Amino acid sequence: MTSPESIALIRSLSAVRQFADRPIPRQARDDIFEVVRWSGNASNRQQFEVLWVEDRDLLQRLAGTEGYAKHLAGAAAGAVIATWMERDELNAFDEGRIAERIMLAAHAHGISSCIGWLRGRGGEEAKQLLGLPADRTVRTTISLGFAAEGARRGRRRRPTGEVIRIAGRS
Residues 103-162 contacting its own copies, CB under 8 A: 104-105, 108-110, 115, 130-131, 139-140, 154-160, 162
Q: Residue 106 carries which side chain, given as an amino acid letter?
A: A
Of 19-78, binders to its own copies (CB under 8 A) are: 27-28, 31, 33-40, 44, 46, 48-55, 57-59
- Kindly tell me which residue out of 66, 70, 73, 92 binds its own copies, with binding defined by CB under 8 A: 92
The secondary element (H helix, E strand) that includes residue 141 is strand 137-145
Exposed / middle / buried, residue 41 (Cβ in 10 Å: 0-12, 13-18, 19+): middle
Q: How far is CA 13 from CA 8, 103, 111, 131, 137, in A?
A: 9, 8, 10, 32, 26
Provide, rounded to whole angstroms, the least separation between the CB of residue 1 and its own copies: 4
Provide, rounded to whole angstroms, the least separation between the CB of residue 135 and its own copies: 16
- Answer for the pair 82, 29: CB distance below 8 angstroms, yes or no: no
- Answer for the pair 19, 150: CB distance below 8 angstroms, yes or no: no
- Three-state DSSP state, 157: coil
Q: Which is nearer to its own copies, 150 or 168 (CB)?
A: 168
Q: Which is nearer to its own copies, 5 or 21 (CB)?
A: 5
Q: Which is nearer to its own copies, 115 or 150 (CB)?
A: 115
CB hemisphere CA count around 166 (13 angstroms) = 3
Q: Residue 126 carries which side chain, given as an amino acid letter?
A: A
Q: Which is nearer to its own copies, 50 or 150 (CB)?
A: 50
- The answer to whether residue 163 forms part of the interface with its own copies (CB under 8 A) is yes
Q: Which is nearer to its own copies, 8 or 21 (CB)?
A: 8
